[in-house]
């Protein structure tokens, strides 16, 4: 009970700090603006980086866009959520926009790639491996994939977007998205099985 009360007090304090900072940034106080950047860039960067890996330069641009968008709508911040959560919400929109634009405009890999047979052995990724190694390997394999495959997999399996949602957002048919996903999975699996640990 005491711990709960302490948490509530801390949350209230955080909200008060957030509101104070927001008020100063809205007054265009340059030092408060620096504090705003200093306090929240790491969280937003970490969030975005994970979703557009391995494209670091894309992450950097999206984080900047998220902060500029945050400034443009900062007057609407009411303190209902923490400033960090509010910023991450904006970052999520930016990431979604990026997935949508890239999948809509980029050239999809040739479907001839589908001709490679699916491995008949039990995939190596079903084996038990250390979680940290798994993370590293997943990142490495994603980095080797064509961008379209990487993005569609991240959008589907990390952001948990359905094929229907992705189709609506990109202006493609659901069938086309499902075919793209199938090819992306196939490439991912092949690369995984050849990547070692």
Partner 1 sequence: MPGHERGDELFRMFSELDEAAFDERAPARVKSRIYSALIREQQETGPLESLRETRAAGHGLCIFEELVQIAPVGQKAKSPFFCWACHARLLAENLENAPIFWANCPYVAFQKR
CA distance 179 to 107: 14
Taking the C-alpha atoms of residue 62 and residue 39, their distance in angstroms, rounded to an integer, is 17
Nearest one of 83, 100, 97, 84 to 46, comparing CA atoms? 84
In the bound state with partner 1, the residue whose beta carbon lies nearer, of 31 and 78, is: 31
Among 7, 11, 34, 116, binds partner 1 (CB under 8 A): 34
Q: Least CB distance from residue 115 to partner 1, whole Å?
A: 18
Binders in 138-177 for partner 1, by CB under 8 A: 138-139, 153-154, 156-158, 160
Tell me: does residue 130 bind partner 1 (CB under 8 A). no
- How far apart CA 66 and CA 90 sit, in angstroms, is 6
**Least CB distance to partner 1 at residue 9 (A):** 23
Number of residues that bind partner 1 (CB under 8 A): 48
Q: Which residues of 145-183 are buried (b: 16+ CB within 10 A; e: fewer)?
A: bbbbbbbbbbbbeeeebebebbbebbebeeeebebbbeb
Q: What are φ and ψ of residue 159, in 5° steps?
A: -90, -5
How far are the Cα atoms of 137, 166, 182, 186, 192 from residue 114, in angstroms, in the given order?
Answer: 23, 21, 9, 8, 16
- Peptide bond connecting 161 to the previous residue in cis, omega within 30 degrees of 0: no
Collect all residues with Cβ–Cβ distance below 8 Å to 139 and sequence separation of at least 6: 53, 54
The least CB distance from residue 158 to partner 1, in Å, is 4
Per CB under 8 A, 83 contacts partner 1: no
Rounded Cα–Cα distance for residues 64 and 60 (Å): 6
Kindly tell me which of 71 and 108 has the beta carbon lying closer to partner 1: 71
Find the shortest distance in angstroms from Cβ 38 to partner 1: 6
| Residue from 18, 45, 103, 161 in contact with partner 1 (CB under 8 A) | 45
* Given 54, 125, 148, 174, the residue binding partner 1 (CB under 8 A): 125
Is the Cβ of residue 111 or residue 158 nearer to partner 1 in the bound state? 158
The residues of the shown chain that bind partner 1, judged by CB under 8 A, are 24, 27-34, 36-38, 41-42, 44-47, 49-50, 53, 60, 63-64, 67-68, 71-72, 118, 123, 125-126, 131-132, 134-135, 138-139, 153-154, 156-158, 160, 182, 185, 188-189
């Amino acid at each position: 009970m005491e711990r709960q009360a302490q948490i509530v007090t801390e949350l209230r304090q955080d909200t008060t700090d957030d509101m104070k900072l927001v008020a100063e940034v809205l007054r265009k106080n340059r030092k408060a603006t620096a504090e705003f950047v200093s306090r929240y860039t790491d969280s937003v960067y970490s969030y975005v980086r994970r979703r557009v890996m391995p494209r670091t330069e894309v992450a950097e641009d999206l984080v900047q866009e998220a902060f500029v968008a945050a400034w443009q709508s900062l007057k609407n911040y009411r303190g209902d959520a923490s400033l960090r959560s509010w910023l991450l919400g904006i970052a999520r929109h930016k990431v979604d926009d990026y997935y949508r634009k890239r999948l809509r405009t980029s050239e999809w890999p040739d479907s001839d790639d589908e001709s490679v047979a699916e491995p008949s052995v039990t995939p190596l990724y079903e084996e038990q491996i250390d979680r940290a190694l798994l993370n590293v390997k997943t990142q490495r394999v994603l980095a080797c994939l064509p961008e379209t495959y990487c993005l569609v997999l991240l959008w589907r399996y990390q952001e948990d977007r359905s094929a229907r949602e992705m189709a609506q957002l990109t202006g493609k048919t659901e069938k086309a998205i499902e075919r793209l996903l199938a090819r992306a999975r196939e490439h991912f699996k092949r690369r995984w099985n050849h990547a070692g640990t």
